[in-house]
Amino acid sequence: MRLRRMIGVTAALLVTLPAFAGEACTAAACELECKCAPERSAAAEAQAPGAGQSSSSMAGMPGMQRAPASGMGSMSGMNMAPTNFIDAIIAHASAGTTVEPLSTPHDMLMTHKGSWMLMLHGTAFVATQQQTGPRGGDKVFSTSWFMPMAQRDLGPGTLTLRGMFSLEPATISDRQYPELFQVGETAYGRPIVDGQHPHNFFMELAALYDWKIGANSLVSFYAAPVGDPAMGPEAFPHRVSASEDTLAPLGHHLQDSTHISYDVLTLGYTYKKARVEFSGFHGREPGENRWTISTGDVDSWSARLTVNPLPNWSGQFSIGRLHSPEALEPDEDQLRTTASVTYNRPLAVGGDASWGNSATTLIWGRNFTLPGGEIYNSYLAESTLKFLRHNYAWTRIENVDRTNELLNGENPLPPNFEEHFLARIQAYSFGYDREFPFISHVSSALGAQLTLYGKPASLDALYGDHPLGVLVFVRFRPTPTEKR
């Protein structure tokens, strides 16, 4: 019954998308049409009444370049691929203010209403997880995020309004799904151990304003009662290199856990291929109530440098101080440092831009506790390969520090508990899925993932000799093109 309800909720949302998709296109599809038929498109534009005016207004949207295509009322006449770093920032196809390589594909539904450009993208998984060992668990659950966005010119710059929502508070029971060796955040006064918390219903509510100064400079403002400060790489639910892996990395709380923060203010400046950002935000992590928006003082800060030297490359370095992030350790701050690099390469075969794509990300994250001076490191390498149009294969390899919180499990912390380094854990994940036509304008895939773990022998009594996890899932993603 639980599985039926989850599939029903997900399907009910997704079956409403074809109406929105009537005037939609992907960047890859638009670019391919423009390259393949410039003469035909120019002729159609000349013959279509009012076509020139419609195309011109769309071409004026930030981050978009007019292509010599049909000029009809649909978006099929537009090349939505950003041509430079500043255009990619203004397009805001990523979460928060993060930016991926310019060549990164983004499946989204897009349409033009008056002076507004409207966009929608997201992903939903319905999964069952089975794990071995004394601490292993099993569960049927669903993860999801949906991001609607509206954008228009306003004054000398561009205004973007964006929301991001997740149904996980309803589709992940008991405030967690099983994930061996995972730690971070609390629920009902107890630490979450060997489990991953759900995302909030309100993942982001943000207003962004970008002001282009000359040809090479951009000043950006970001304000969000709940949003993503300038800290860490693109969060795992949105990374192109993790598009098919619904499980959170074990290093999540040393790398990108601030992607849902409260009272976020960010100022950014971009020059050519480099960007520097500064953020203030409330440092406390969400609790077990995932349906509300909390508020608090702007007591934490972060700074990030992002560089996109080439269309297929993006890197970032960030540092921030999080004030009292953990509810069970209110007197402890964290100094977090992260660095990451992403390489994305489209794989076009015979002129077919949808044939495949390869994306790889390397991440290092470190937490330094204050006071106390404990240092915890995490390392991640992940890669996703799309091939033969409908097939995905991926891997994620991690090496992370874990503390004596693992020994306590989900029991209440004992009085005067002091957290210290315990062990370094390795995780090796391998997965595959295949797309099948199921719902119009929705990419539907059936897949599976295997995760193997490495640990010291001292943890055998808690986790068994060779713990592992198996995940089987159905994945849904709105797409403006039919999958055949």
Q: What average pLDDT does the segment 45-67 reach?
A: 38
Domain boundaries, the chain: 2-24+85-478, 27-79
pLDDT given for residue 80 in this prediction = 56
Q: Which of 252, 469, 258, 260 is nearest to 380 (CA)?
A: 252
pLDDT band at 418 (very low <50, low <70, confident <90, very high): confident
Determine contact, residues 79/72, Cβ cutoff 8 Å.
no
Give the model confidence (pLDDT) of 121-173 as tens digits.
999 999 999 999 999 999 999 999 999 999 999 999 999 999 999 999 999 99
Q: What average pLDDT does the segment 460-482 reach?
A: 93
- pLDDT reading at 90 higher than 80: yes
pLDDT given for residue 444 in this prediction = 95
Determine contact, residues 123/475, Cβ cutoff 8 Å.
yes
What's the rounded Cα separation, in Å, for the pair 419 and 402? 10
Measured CA to CA in angstroms, residue 179 lies from 224, 253, 293, 470 at distances of 30, 14, 26, 10
Query: In the numeric block, which tokens belong to residue 297?
Result: 């003082």
Query: In the numeric block, which tokens belong to residue 482?
Result: 């039919």
pLDDT given for residue 413 in this prediction = 86
For the chain, give the percent of residues with pLDDT over 90. Answer: 71
Q: Residue 411: how many CA atoms within 13 Å on its side-chain side?
A: 10
- CATH match of 2-24+85-478 with 3.40.50.360: no
- pLDDT reading at 48 higher than 50: no
For the chain, give the percent of residues with pLDDT over 70. Answer: 82
pLDDT band at 482 (very low <50, low <70, confident <90, very high): low
What's the rounded Cα separation, in Å, for the pair 451 and 245? 11
Determine contact, residues 276/303, Cβ cutoff 8 Å.
yes
- pLDDT reading at 416 higher than 80: yes
Q: Which residue has the higher pLDDT, 427 or 32?
A: 427
Give the model confidence (pLDDT) of 356-414 as tens digits.
999 999 999 999 999 988 999 999 999 999 999 999 999 999 999 999 999 998 888 88
Give the model confidence (pLDDT) of 314-362 as tens digits.
999 999 999 999 888 899 999 999 999 999 999 999 888 889 999 999 9
Give the model confidence (pLDDT) of 124-138 as tens digits.
999 999 999 999 999
Query: In the numeric block, which tokens belong to residue 463?
Result: 């986790």
Query: What pTM does this model have?
Result: 0.85
What values do phi and psi take at 293, rounded to 5?
A: -110, 120
- Distant-in-sequence, close-in-space partners of 136: CB < 8 Å, separation ≥ 6: 130, 178, 180, 463, 464, 467, 469
Give the model confidence (pLDDT) of 282-306 as tens digits.
999 988 889 999 989 999 999 999 9
Give the model confidence (pLDDT) of 221-255 as tens digits.
999 999 999 999 999 999 999 999 999 999 999 99
pLDDT given for residue 470 in this prediction = 98
- pLDDT reading at 114 higher than 70: yes
pLDDT given for residue 19 in this prediction = 39
Q: Which of 62, 85, 90 is nearest to 308 (CA)?
A: 85
- pLDDT reading at 67 higher than 50: no
Q: Quick one: how far is CA 402 from the chain centroid?
A: 24
Q: Which residue has the higher pLDDT, 438 or 424?
A: 424
What's the chain look like in SS3? CHHHHHHHHHHHHHCCHHHHHHHCCCHHHHHHHHHHCHHHHHHHHHHCCCHHHHHHHHHCCCCCEECCCCCCCCHHHEECCCCCHHHHHHHCCCCCCCCCCCCCCCCCEEEEECCEEEEEEEEEEEEEEEECCCCCCEEEEEEEEEEEEEEEEECCEEEEEEEEECCHHHHCHHHCEEEEEEEEEEECCEEEEEEECCCCCEEEEEEEEEEEECCCEEEEEEEEEEECCCCCCCCHHHCHHHCCCCCCCCCHHHHCHHHCEEEEEEEEEEECCEEEEEEEEECCCCCCCCCCCCCCCCCEEEEEEEECCCCCEEEEEEEEEECCCCCCCCCCEEEEEEEEEEEEEEEEECCEEEEEEEEEEEEEEEEEEECCCCEEEEEEEEEEEEECCCEEEEEEEEEEEEECHHHHCCCCCCCCCCCCEEEEEEEEEEEEEEEEEEECCEEEEEEEEEEEEECCHHHHHHHCCCCEEEEEEEEEEECCCCCC
pLDDT given for residue 438 in this prediction = 82
Determine contact, residues 94/119, Cβ cutoff 8 Å.
no
- Distant-in-sequence, close-in-space partners of 251: CB < 8 Å, separation ≥ 6: 363, 365, 378, 379, 380, 398, 400
Q: What mean pLDDT value characterizes the chain?
A: 85
